[in-house]
C-alpha cells in the first residue's frame, strides 16, 4: 500500500511569476535553465539553491524573501 504525502510548499516562484506577468519559460530563458527545471520549482517538486533564488529576485527586482513561503503568516 502506497501512502501519499503532500509536498511542503517552500517557494512562491509560481505565484510571484503570475504577480509580475512573467512565465516559467521566460524565467528559464533568463537563467539559462531547462524549462522543466523551472516547472519543478513552480510546483515545489524540487527547489532552487539560494544562489539561484538570489538571481531570480534580481531578475524580478524584488526582495528574495518574497520568493520563500513565510512561516510567520503574510509578509
pTM: 0.84
Grid cell in block for residue 40: 519543478
Residue 70 to residue 25: CA distance in whole angstroms: 25
Grid cell in block for residue 59: 531578475
- Residue 15 main-chain phi, psi, to 5 deg: -65, -45
| pLDDT, position 2 | 61
Cβ-based neighbours of 26, under 8 Å, separated by 6 or more: 17
**Fold of domain 13-67:** 434 Repressor (Amino-terminal Domain) (1.10.260)
| pLDDT, position 46 | 97
What are the tens digits of pLDDT across the range 12-62? Answer: 999 999 999 999 999 999 999 999 999 999 999 999 999 999 999 999 999
Radius of gyration of the chain (CA): 13
Grid cell in block for residue 52: 539561484
Amino acid at each position: 500500500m502506497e501512502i501519499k504525502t503532500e509536498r511542503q510548499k517552500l517557494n512562491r516562484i509560481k505565484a510571484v511569476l503570475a504577480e509580475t506577468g512573467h512565465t516559467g519559460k521566460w524565467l528559464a530563458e533568463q537563467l539559462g535553465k531547462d524549462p522543466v527545471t523551472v516547472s519543478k520549482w513552480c510546483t515545489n517538486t524540487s527547489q532552487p539553491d539560494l544562489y539561484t533564488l538570489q538571481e531570480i529576485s534580481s531578475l524580478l527586482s524584488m526582495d528574495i524573501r518574497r520568493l520563500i513561503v513565510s512561516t510567520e503568516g503574510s509578509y
